[in-house]
Amino acid sequence: MRAVPLRPDLSGGALEPEDIQAMFLAFEEVCKALEIQPAATREREAVAVRIIELSRRGERSPARLAERVLKEAGRPDDDDRRSA
């Protein structure tokens, strides 16, 4: 498993282990859904930064973090696909 580039961007305050785990799970889900390869450093960093921003604003659910980032990336969520 490749390391997630989260540490350099966490200077804004302390996070609980559960918060870091939630961000990691969301990151993995988004990269998988968008088919972002491990070598795609810029894309992976963009995903990580956005997840961190959302976490700092209070979102702690890995599913909601991933859903939000995927929606912002233009990927419809399950509700959007069902109504199409």
The predicted-structure confidence for 3-28, as pLDDT tens digits, reads as follows: 554 444 455 667 789 999 999 999 99
- The answer as to whether 1 is a domain residue is no
Q: Phi/psi at 61 (nearest 5 deg)?
A: -85, 125
Range of the domain at 67: 16-83
- Give pLDDT, residue 79: 52
Whether residue 69 lies inside any domain: the answer is: yes
Task: Identify whether 37 is part of a domain.
Answer: yes
Residue 2 within a domain? no
* 29-40 pLDDT tens trace: 999 999 999 999
Residue 38 lies in a domain: yes
Contacts of 33 (CB under 8 A, 6+ apart): 66, 70, 75
Domain-embedded: residue 63? yes
